[in-house]
């Protein structure tokens, strides 16, 4: 009986193993098939073609970013792929190249899929479009409903179109934070804050129920400066009377009342719109501007992405390289990316490795560090800064190009550069340090939980959140924060050739626009990525060079498996308010994973870009 039972169990295990083995072989075969199909798709694809007299179609989708995840390896398996991110430099390169390309006759901007981009990124795009216009080529733009960001991009066009039932909303800039102190107090959770810099407001939502006077002062100044730049840009390009523009923004309900709620008429009367057009009329207008035999259904065109790919293949690769390294999102310890999702963090270890590889690559003659980061881990920021210092010591120029935000830890790493370039609307500075420590003694008491034990020293259990934070531990953390702040001041003073006292006066955690940072000496020049790369070439004495974009990546098989999982979750882009709120809350929760500084010291600013 026992023998038969063991035989039955053995048979069941053999059957289970055969099932597992079959699944394993099937999975391997599927992956190999995917790889084979991807390879065949790449080989057999004829690639895009640039027709003569074509319209270059610029239709950014989702968020403008400095660098996206690796290209999808499984796009051919999905019915439709809509990118949630658009790479800024692809659009910039395409538009600038098209301005001198005789095959491109017209630039078409369609803004409906653009979610957000940051004022500085949109400003760089507008500058490239202005160069296209200066070459004598027309620019048309259309949106069915303009958000503020969408309209800022479209406004640079020669003709701005709007759907007959559309609108153009210009509400201005605002920053409202959610303050958790009341909820944390109700739960009995105590947050200990350690900081230097009265303007270092990032941790205030955890310790206050409202905005501090210092944060209100700094935020008012920052948003005011950004709005004045935005306002001046629109008034200049649309040739508006300043009073007319201010009335549109400040008295929009009155204008709606005067036009019986017709938002499109309000936009036209406000001078923001040149023409109304349906989708069919829009296509007919493009064909008309191209002339010749073009019709609304058939006219020569190419997307910016396909155009970029084609001209990249047409260019001769120079032996000398300028490497553009992107530091994007929260600066955290360790290696990033950890998955195949869009990069929202810069790993101290992985980014340092990128810098080393560029330094040791003989073909790379200069490095441009493109920073779009509000900071993060003090430890990781210092790792990156040291690698950049070593690169300069090795004789390779290092230029920093600031994108929408390069503050706190983002500014810390910028100090290692030979030159710092910023856009006028870049948010930078925030030279300050803070530490946060949660204490959950009260919630445990409410649950009837108690903690008891022994330790061999006064600090052995000092940072156990189940126990009250001792005076000795509190003093230790505060001293560490103060030391890191002094170190920050010394680094900035040495890099910017200022005294420590001068740096302290413009530090204290305060954020500045790029224009203000230039005036205070925190940056060298105002300009975008294009100018920063040119500065790197000048320092490296290069006239002919190739621009490369090194990036940390995952093994191909891991990318494919994770992309399959991501596609299963879906990735449709939507501008619905509820969807945006969910995405924002999700992103804030995801960001907690990157708060991993080993000393619990952070160089981070609460400075979302408008």
Please report, for the domain that includes residue 85, its CATH number. 3.90.226.10
Q: Is residue 385 part of a domain?
A: yes
Q: Is residue 205 part of a domain?
A: no
Q: Is residue 301 part of a domain?
A: yes
SS3 content of the chain, % helix, strand, coil (to 5): 45, 20, 35
pLDDT value for 486: 93
pLDDT value for 441: 86
Q: Does one domain contain both 385 and 304?
A: no
For the chain, the domain total comes to: 2
Active-site residues: which are they? 200, 408
Tell me the DSSP string of 405-447: EEETHHHHHHTTSSEEEE-TT-EEE---EEEEEEE-HHHHHHT
Low-confidence ranges of the chain (pLDDT < 50): 42, 72-83, 338-342, 558, 562-582, 584-585, 588-589
Question: What per-residue string of b and e applies to 362-386 under the rule 16 or more CB within 10 Å gives b?
Answer: eebbbbbbbbbbbbbbbbbbbbbbe
Q: Does one domain contain both 588 and 490?
A: yes
Q: Does one domain contain both 302 and 362?
A: no
Q: Which domain holds residue 144?
A: 54-73+81-168+273-311
Q: Does one domain contain both 417 and 301?
A: no
From 293, 311, 329, give the residue that closes a domain.
311
Which residue's entry shows tokens 């069915």?
144
pLDDT value for 233: 96
Q: Does one domain contain both 323 and 299?
A: no
Q: Is residue 90 part of a domain?
A: yes
Would residue 283 be called left, alpha or beta, if left means φ above 0 and alpha means ψ between -120 and 50 degrees? Answer: alpha
Q: Does one domain contain both 119 and 91?
A: yes
Average pLDDT over the chain, rounded to an integer: 84
pLDDT value for 402: 97
pLDDT value for 579: 46
pLDDT value for 411: 96
CB proximity list for 516: less than 8 A, separation 6 or greater: 225
Q: Does one domain contain both 385 and 297?
A: no
pLDDT value for 76: 42
Q: Does one domain contain both 417 and 297?
A: no
Q: pTM score, two decimals?
A: 0.83
CA distance 4 to 11: 10
From 311, 341, 357, give the residue that closes a domain.
311
From 287, 311, 335, give the residue that closes a domain.
311
Q: Is residue 185 part of a domain?
A: no
Q: Does one domain contain both 59 and 117?
A: yes
Q: Does one domain contain both 291 and 424?
A: no
Q: Does one domain contain both 348 and 496?
A: yes
CA distance 147 to 129: 19
pLDDT value for 172: 93
CA distance 327 to 406: 9
Strands across the sheet containing 139-143:
275-276, 159-162, 139-143, 104-110, 54-58, 301-303
Q: Does one domain contain both 85 and 68?
A: yes
Percentage of the residues of the chain whose pLDDT score is greater than 70: 80
């Amino acid at each position: 009986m026992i023998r038969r039972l063991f035989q039955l169990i053995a048979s069941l295990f053999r059957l289970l193993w055969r099932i597992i083995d079959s699944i394993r072989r099937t999975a391997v075969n599927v992956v190999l098939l995917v790889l084979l199909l991807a390879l065949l798709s790449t080989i057999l694809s004829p690639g895009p073609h640039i027709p003569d007299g074509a319209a270059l179609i610029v239709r950014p989708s989702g968020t403008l970013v400095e660098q996206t995840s690796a290209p999808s390896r499984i796009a051919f398996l999905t019915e439709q792929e809509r990118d949630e991110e658009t790479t800024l430099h692809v659009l910039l390169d395409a538009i600038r190249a098209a301005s001198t390309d005789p095959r491109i006759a017209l630039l078409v901007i369609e803004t409906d899929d653009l979610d957000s981009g940051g004022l500085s990124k949109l400003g760089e795009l507008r500058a490239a479009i202005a160069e296209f216009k200066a070459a004598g080529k027309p620019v048309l733009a259309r949106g069915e409903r303009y958000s503020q960001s969408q309209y800022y991009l479209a406004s640079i066009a020669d003709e701005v179109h709007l759907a007959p039932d559309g609108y153009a909303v210009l509400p201005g800039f605002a920053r409202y934070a959610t303050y958790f102190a009341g909820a944390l107090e109700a739960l009995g959770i105590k947050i200990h804050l350690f900081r230097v810099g009265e303007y270092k407001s990032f941790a205030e939502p955890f310790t206050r129920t409202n905005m501090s006077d210092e944060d209100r002062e700094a935020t008012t100044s920052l948003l005011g400066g950004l709005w004045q730049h935005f306002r001046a840009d629109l008034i200049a390009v649309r040739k508006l009377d300043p009073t007319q523009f201010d009335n549109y923004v400040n008295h929009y309900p009155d204008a709606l009342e005067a036009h019986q709620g017709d938002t499109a008429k309000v936009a036209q009367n406000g001078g923001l719109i040149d023409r109304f057009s349906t989708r069919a009329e829009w296509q007919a207008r493009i064909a008309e501007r191209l002339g010749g035999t073009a019709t609304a259904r058939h006219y020569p065109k190419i997307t910016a992405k396909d155009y970029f790919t084609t001209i990249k293949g047409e260019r001769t690769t120079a032996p000398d390289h300028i490497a553009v390294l992107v530091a994007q999102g929260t600066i955290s310890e360790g290696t990033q990316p950890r998955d195949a999702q869009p990069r929202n963090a810069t790993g101290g270890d992985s980014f340092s490795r990128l810098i080393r590889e560029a330094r040791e690559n003989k073909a790379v003659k200069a490095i441009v560090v493109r920073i779009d980061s509000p900071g993060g881990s003090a430890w990781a920021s210092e790792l990156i800064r040291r690698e950049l210092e070593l690169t300069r010591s090795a004789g390779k120029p290092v230029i920093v190009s600031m994108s929408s935000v390069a503050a706190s830890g983002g500014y810390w790493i910028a100090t290692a550069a030979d030159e710092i370039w910023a856009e006028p609307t870049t948010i930078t500075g925030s030279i300050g340090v803070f530490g946060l420590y949660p204490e959950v003694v009260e919630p445990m008491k409410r649950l009837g939980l108690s903690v008891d034990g022994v330790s061999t020293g006064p600090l052995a259990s000092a940072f156990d959140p189940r126990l009250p934070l001792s005076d000795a531990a509190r003093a230790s953390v505060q001293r560490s924060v103060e030391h890191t702040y002094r170190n920050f001041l010394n680094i900035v003073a040495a890099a910017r050739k200022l005294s420590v006292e001068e740096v302290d006066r413009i530090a204290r955690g305060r954020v500045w626009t790029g224009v203000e940072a230039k005036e205070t000496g925190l940056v060298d020049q105002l300009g975008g990525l294009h100018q920063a790369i040119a500065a790197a070439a000048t320092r490296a004495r290069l006239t002919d060079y190739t621009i490369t974009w090194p990036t940390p990546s995952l093994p191909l098989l891991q990318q494919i498996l994770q992309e399959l999982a991501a596609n299963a979750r879906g990735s449709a882009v939507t501008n619905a308010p509820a969807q945006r709120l969910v995405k924002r809350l999700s992103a804030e929760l995801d960001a907690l994973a990157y708060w991993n500084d080993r000393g619990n010291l952070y160089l981070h600013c609460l400075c979302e870009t408008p």
